[in-house]
Amino acid sequence: MIVTHVLGVDSSTQSTKALLVDASDGTVVEQRSAPHPAGTEVDPRAWLAAFDEAAGPLLGRAAAISVGGQQHGMVALDAAGEPVRDALLWNDTRSAQEARDLIEELGGPQACADVIGSVMVASFTASKLRWVRDHEQDNAARVTEVLLPHDYVSRHVAAPGTTAFTDRGDASGTGYFATAKGEWRPDLAAAAIGHEIDLPRLVEPGTAGAEMAGGAPIAGGTGDNAAAALGMGLEPGDVLISIGTSGVASTISAVPVADGSGAITGFADAAFGYLPMATTINAAQILDLQAKWLGVDHDELARLALQAPAGSRGVTFLPYYGGERTPNRPDATGTWVGLTPRTTREDLARAAFEALLCSLADAVDLVVGATGQEPRRILMVGGATKSAAVRALAPAILGRPVVLPPSGEYVALGAARQAAWALTGSLPQWQLPDTETLEADPTPGVREAYAALRDA
């Protein structure tokens, strides 16, 4: 039996991860990685070196390839195709004022969402282009082409002379893409940088954007969130919670979302649908801080939490330590209430988990409300899902079962699925192995107490 392999690559903020995958069933055959430089601005050529290290040894065994990557980053190139300056990454917030300026130029938050699908924030590429225009005029004048990180890496592996290409999923986070219409707005890109620039070709879902020198197809690639959704096989009605540095609740929708409040970003997915999501600034660090303050490791923090009753004997807090994006409270701080002489270490530990999960439950409610779809499944991923307390309390606070997929590199796996789609012409139906369903009796009083404090 001849096995066909495809290669999925995740060019993330921290590293390049490459998975060689059996195209028939999604089984990972080999995995490699290479680190990226730290920082919020990086020479994008470092990503190419990391790609060569991680993915290079696997290329000869792949019948097709696709690259998923960090969203929003600005790769500004000159007429020779060389970087004008270091790439500004999604987490570089220097362009916050420029984002506000662009929103006003589009007619306000709702008008902005109606045009691009989301209310502009500093993460978006357009705001970074405007920052360069306003602060680095010489650099701005030299920019002739702007790519997203995954576009830059995809072209690196393509045959010489290939023009840059991208997909609707990643394009929808630039600020110059009409998400509902599925087309570039080059006028908005020009307005951001101050002159006309070249943008990548848009590749239809399931098709190749180019070929490698040996003729193997290269799929259009996509942004990390859209790739992860593809890797997990999300379908309309599925809600995915991701607990990492930030918290994310996202869902697949058949219709676009344009939320003028800014709580929901209305991205496109990597297929033919949409990927509305709500993001919290504070997530895993809530538990990190609580463990630090109580002088315990994460396992002991979970053990303490599970010894306290639901509701933490009246202790409730808002975990907005670094401000918050959902809800939009950039100047907020962490707020604790209900502390008494009877409060125990166990109560303090449990309150941290309850606050984290209530915050994420609010994000779930937002994406569900924006789409009008009753959740079919709730899935949960991220490093914090290893915690026994997160696993025990999540279904109780969310009030429904939670599906826990096995740990894995889902961005790279989604890219591999996209590569197989481009290779065969049909989206493969890979199954997630060994999922675990978490169940618990609902504790609605916990969310009610949290909501009362949130809205006070």
Residues forming the active site:
224
Concatenating the DSSP letter of every residue in 327-388 gives TTBTT---EEE---TT--HHHHHHHHHHHHHHHHHHHHHHHHHHHTPPPSEEEEESGGGGSH
Q: Which residues of 188-219 are buried (b: 16+ CB within 10 A; e: fewer)?
A: bbebbbbeebbbbebbebbebbbbbeeebbbb
Element (H, E) at 105: helix 96-105
Instruction: Determine the distance from the C-alpha atom of residue 136 to the mean position of all C-alpha atoms in its chain, rounded to a whole number.
Output: 29
Which residues lie closer than 8 Å to 143 by C-beta, 6 or more apart? Answer: 76, 77, 78, 84, 129, 132, 193, 197
Tokens of residue 435, six digits: 């999922």
Strands 5-11 and 65-69 come out as: parallel
Contact 298, 291 (CB under 8 A): yes
Amino acid making up residue 403: V
Contact 433, 315 (CB under 8 A): no
Q: Which residues of 45-81 are buried (b: 16+ CB within 10 A; e: fewer)?
A: ebbbbbbeebbeebbeebbbbbbbbbbbbbbbbeeee
- What is the spatial distance between Cα 454 and Cα 399, in angstroms, rounded to a whole number? 19
Residue entry with tokens 């199954």: 431
Tokens of residue 85, six digits: 């300056």
Q: What is the DSSP letter of 325?
A: T
Tokens of residue 410, six digits: 């889902």
- What is the spatial distance between Cα 354 and Cα 351, in angstroms, rounded to a whole number? 5
Tokens of residue 310, six digits: 């639901």
Concatenating the DSSP letter of every residue in 108-159 gives SHHHHHHHHSS---TTSHHHHHHHHHHH-HHHHHH--EEE-HHHHHHHHHSP
Which residues lie closer than 8 Å to 41 by C-beta, 6 or more apart? Answer: 85, 86, 87, 88, 89, 92
Residue entry with tokens 């003729």: 215
Give the C-alpha distances (Å, rounded to integers) separating 248 from 104, 263, 382: 27, 11, 10
